[in-house]
Each structure stands twice: as structure tokens, then as C-alpha cells.
């Protein structure tokens, strides 16, 4: 298993993931292999000490965030957002959608990390229930844990073909959305709403009470966007509209990264700035070179790793904190935050679920031409009408959510809910890979369970 741009970071991730899944029953144990004297920084029984609840909550957030940038990169490669130029043997298989359970890059970088993120959230939620009892009903930390856990299940449903939970039978994406993501997200909304009421009950308000209200609003909106996303994937349009309509347009919720260590770095920076392991050359996004500041792609080419080809490399898109809103755009950095959920996404979900009303057409038009009369006019598509509404919606959506872990879920939803007659840029790429003799795309549309799970889970034997 390898990441050509951050091997130390991946190594620590995989070791940590293995340890977590061993603890959660996700892998088979080997007698004596891990026998050491008190290896834990904190003894397991101490985790039930109320003093550690804050630490556990931060752990849930951290594990989700360190999974999220990997999911953004590797699903970008698996779809049409990025083209691979790295030379490690598993990487071309990701781009051509020929990923098997033996593919350690996807197994460790996506599957195991999402399982770890949801597993740590579920375990922490159980600890909260045990320690806090009835008080958990107004504990914003518990709401936060459930929101992150629910979002992890949403991502699992969007990117994985199936997924067991704690060595269970494998669940379908629909089950992951309906039976796992939505109950956690609904509970997060309920508990955060109750916590908000506690903050508002403090009269006169204090800095702490105001912070509680603001934090609760953030979690409520995060959970609502995630729930609307799950509902849209289930084709439950009324539920998607219900959740999405309640989210303010200005809302934004991000995953954060740091320059401090490779473990905390945003790996997109290593892939696209520090080394040209990926580009947009040969993808449908190449047509946006010097066109749309939301996906800033300079006209100047760079030399790709391995092949030495001159390729077009995107800079920070609108989902990243290093976005500048200009062409040619701003550089990625190891500390670039990535948007996870937003009021903009909620508005897109509502528009897709409601259809071409006058209000929704106006919304898509507001995204289609974001800089009218300038060289940065954001679209080559025609003005939005009821007839081309969904085409324009899908086109603008791919631009607004470029490289933030939406594309694979979107393409799968388009395929299942809209059929094969949709426009080419809303379909999985087919045929030979441009500029790569001998490589062709397969008909794989999701990522498999990894080999470690299949070896240890009796439901796969």
C-alpha cells in the first residue's frame, strides 16, 4: 500500500485503522502478535471517565477529517475529476475503475478510514449513553458525535458497493443511508435542538450560552445537509426537501487540516501542488481550463510525475479555504480546509428534488453566470429553461462541488435515478483512457470492501 506523496502519513493511518478495527471486531486477531505491556495511552476502562468525553469527541472529529481528504482524492480519481499520473501499480487501476479488494491504496485510504470514522463515532456514542444517561439528550458533544457518524455512513453509502458494520452481513448503500445514516442524523438534530434551548434559557445570555447556541446551530445544519443528501440518494424527495429547506444559504461546515505533521496535512496539496500526481487532462473538466473560477485551471501546463506529460493542473476550487475566486486561482496548501456541507449544497438538493420551478431556475441561473460580462463567465451552457433545467443543474453542481467528495455519489445517483440518456459529463467515462495506450475504463461504479474485511468477516467466507 502506498501514497507516492505522503507515505509516512498513510503508514500511520493504516496502523491506527488496524488497531481500531481490531478493537471493534473488524479484523481477525492473531494470538500473541500484539502482546505488549499496557500499549494504550489511556486504559480502556478510563474511557468511561466523564473527564475524557471531550477528548473522545475531538477524536471522532479528527478521524472523520483525516478520512475526508483521502475520500476526496481517491473518488476524484475514480470518477472524472482527476486523471492519475502516479506510477504505483494500484493507481492506474483506481482511475480505470478496476479496483479489487486487494487494492491496498483504496482499502487503506478509503474503506478502512471510513469504517474507522464511523466505528469510532458509534463507540463514542455508546460511551456517552453509558456515562451521561438521560443527560445525553441535551449534550451537544453527543449530537456532534452522531452528526459526524451519520455523515460517515452517508459517504460509505455513496462510495462503497456495500459495507458490513462490525463484521455483520454486508449492507447495501440504501440500507446504509436509511438504517444507519438517517437515524444518527435525526438524533443529532434532536439533541442539538435541545442543547440550543438550554443555551437560550440563560438570561441574561453569557459567552458560554451564546457559544452553545451557535455550536448547536452548526450541528443542526450539518446534520440536516447530510440527511438531505442521504434522502436524495434514496430518491425520497419530500424528506430531502424538508431537511434542505431548513438550512441557511450562508451555512458552511468544513474539515480542517494543518501544516504541523504529515498526519494532519491535506493530501490534496501533495497530489496537486507539491507533485503533479494528478491533473484534469483527458477528463471532461479539461474543458473548463481558464473558464470558471470555481474550478480554476490555469492555461500554463505542468510536468506530470512518471509520464513527463504536459498537463493541466487545477488549483484550489471553491470548496477549499485557499480558494481566491479568481483565475488562475490560488495554490493548495497542506492546511487547506475542505467544505463538507453547506447551505449551497442544501439549495442544490432542494432544486433537484423540487424540479424546474421559477425559483429553482433562477437559482441555477445565478450559478451559471457568476461573473457576467467578464472573461470569467462561469458557463458555456445555454440559459436555464424548464427543458434544460436538469442538464444545467448537473453541470453547475459539478463545478460548485469539485473535488470535495461529491462526484462519485452524484454519478451513481444520476445513473440509477435518471438513466443512461443524460449528458456525457454526468456519466462515468467509458472507452480508452485519453493519452494512456492500453488502458480503458471498466464498468465498475463503486469501491469494494477491502481484503482485510473479507478475510476476517465470516459473511464473506
Task: Read off the pLDDT of residues 169-211 as tens digits, 9 standing for 90 and up.
Answer: 999 999 999 999 999 999 999 999 999 999 999 999 999 999 9
* pLDDT tens-place string over residues 403-451: 999 999 999 999 999 987 899 999 999 999 987 888 899 999 999 999 9
pLDDT band at 377 (very low <50, low <70, confident <90, very high): low
* pLDDT tens-place string over residues 121-160: 999 999 999 999 999 999 999 999 999 999 999 999 999 9
Residue 316 forms part of a structural domain = no
Residue 100 and residue 48: Cα distance in Å, rounded? 39
Residue 361 forms part of a structural domain = yes
Nearest CA-CA partner of 366 in 391, 396, 340, 390: 396
Residue 21 and residue 167: Cα distance in Å, rounded? 10
Residue 119 forms part of a structural domain = no
Residue 199 forms part of a structural domain = no
Contacts of 156 (CB under 8 A, 6+ apart): 114, 115, 118, 163, 173, 176
* pLDDT tens-place string over residues 277-310: 999 999 999 999 988 999 999 999 999 998 899 9
pLDDT of residue 380: 59
* pLDDT tens-place string over residues 390-410: 999 999 999 999 999 999 999
Residue 119 and residue 105: Cα distance in Å, rounded? 20
Q: 403: alpha, beta or left, given left = phi > 0 and alpha = psi -120 to 50?
A: left
pLDDT of residue 375: 54
- Pick 153 or 373 by higher pLDDT: 153
Half-sphere exposure for 233 (CA within 13 Å, toward CB)? 29
Contacts of 202 (CB under 8 A, 6+ apart): 208, 209
Nearest CA-CA partner of 317 in 401, 436, 241, 381: 401
Cα 221 to Cα 51, 188, 291: the distances in Å are 28, 10, 32
Residue 5 near residue 270, CB atoms below 8 Å: yes
Residue 129 forms part of a structural domain = no
CA angle at 35 for the pair 31 and 39, rounded to the nearest 5° = 140
Residue 348 forms part of a structural domain = no
Mean pLDDT of 108-114: 97
Angle between helix axes 407-418 and 207-233 (nearest 10 degrees) is 40
Residue 385 forms part of a structural domain = yes
Check whether 29 has a pLDDT greater than 50: no
Residue 376 forms part of a structural domain = yes
Mean pLDDT of 305-319: 94
Q: How many domains does the chain have?
A: 1
Domain carrying residue 385: 356-419
pLDDT of residue 10: 40
pLDDT of residue 327: 86
Amino acid at each position: 500500500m502506498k501514497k507516492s506523496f505522503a507515505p509516512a502519513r498513510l503508514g500511520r493511518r493504516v496502523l491506527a485503522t488496524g488497531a481500531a478495527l481490531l478493537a471493534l471486531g473488524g479484523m481477525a486477531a492473531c494470538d500473541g502478535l500484539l502482546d505488549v505491556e499496557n500499549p494504550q495511552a489511556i486504559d480502556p476502562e478510563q474511557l468511561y471517565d466523564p473527564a475524557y468525553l471531550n477528548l473522545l469527541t475531538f477524536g471522532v472529529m479528527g478521524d472523520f477529517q483525516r478520512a475526508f481528504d483521502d475520500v476526496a482524492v481517491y473518488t476524484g480519481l475514480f470518477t472524472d475529476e482527476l486523471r492519475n499520473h502516479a506510477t504505483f501499480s494500484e493507481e492506474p487501476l483506481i482511475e480505470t475503475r478496476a479496483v479489487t479488494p486487494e487494492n491496498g491504496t483504496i482499502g487503506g485510504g478509503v474503506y478502512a478510514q471510513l469504517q474507522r470514522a464511523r466505528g469510532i463515532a458509534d463507540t463514542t456514542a455508546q460511551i456517552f449513553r453509558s456515562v451521561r444517561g438521560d443527560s445525553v439528550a441535551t449534550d451537544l458533544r453527543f449530537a456532534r458525535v452522531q452528526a459526524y457518524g451519520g455523515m460517515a455512513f452517508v459517504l460509505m453509502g455513496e462510495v462503497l458497493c456495500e459495507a458490513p458494520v462490525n463484521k455483520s452481513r454486508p449492507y447495501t448503500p440504501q440500507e446504509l443511508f436509511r438504517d444507519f445514516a438517517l437515524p444518527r442524523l435525526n438524533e443529532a438534530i434532536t439533541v442539538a435542538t435541545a442543547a440550543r434551548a438550554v443555551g437560550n434559557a440563560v438570561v441574561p445570555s453569557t459567552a458560554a450560552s451564546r457559544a452553545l447556541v451557535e455550536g448547536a446551530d452548526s450541528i443542526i445544519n450539518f446534520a440536516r445537509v447530510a440527511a438531505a443528501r442521504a434522502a436524495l440518494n434514496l430518491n425520497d424527495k419530500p424528506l430531502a426537501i424538508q431537511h434542505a429547506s431548513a438550512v441557511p444559504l450562508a451555512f458552511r461546515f468544513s474539515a480542517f487540516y494543518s501544516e504541523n505533521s504529515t498526519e494532519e496535512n491535506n493530501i490534496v496539496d501533495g497530489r496537486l501542488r507539491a507533485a503533479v500526481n494528478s491533473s484534469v487532462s483527458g477528463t471532461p473538466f479539461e474543458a473548463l481550463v481558464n473558464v470558471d473560477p470555481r474550478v480554476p485551471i490555469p492555461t500554463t501546463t505542468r510536468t506530470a510525475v512518471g509520464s513527463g506529460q504536459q498537463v493541466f493542473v487545477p488549483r484550489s476550487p471553491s470548496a477549499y479555504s485557499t480558494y481566491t475566486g479568481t483565475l488562475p486561482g490560488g495554490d493548495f496548501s497542506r492546511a487547506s480546509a475542505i467544505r463538507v456541507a453547506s447551505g449551497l449544497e442544501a439549495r442544490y438538493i432542494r432544486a433537484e428534488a423540487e424540479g424546474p420551478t421559477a425559483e429553482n431556475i433562477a437559482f441555477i441561473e445565478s450559478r451559471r453566470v457568476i461573473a457576467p460580462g467578464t472573461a470569467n463567465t462561469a458557463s458555456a451552457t445555454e440559459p436555464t429553461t424548464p427543458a434544460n433545467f436538469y442538464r444545467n443543474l448537473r453541470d453547475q453542481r459539478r463545478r460548485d462541488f469539485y473535488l470535495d467528495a461529491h462526484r462519485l455519489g452524484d454519478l451513481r445517483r444520476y445513473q440509477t435515478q435518471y438513466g443512461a440518456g443524460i449528458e456525457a459529463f454526468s456519466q462515468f467515462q467509458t472507452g480508452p483512457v485519453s493519452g494512456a495506450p492500453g488502458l480503458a475504463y471498466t464498468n465498475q461504479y463503486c469501491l469494494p470492501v477491502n481484503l482485510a474485511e473479507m478475510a476476517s468477516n465470516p459473511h464473506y467466507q
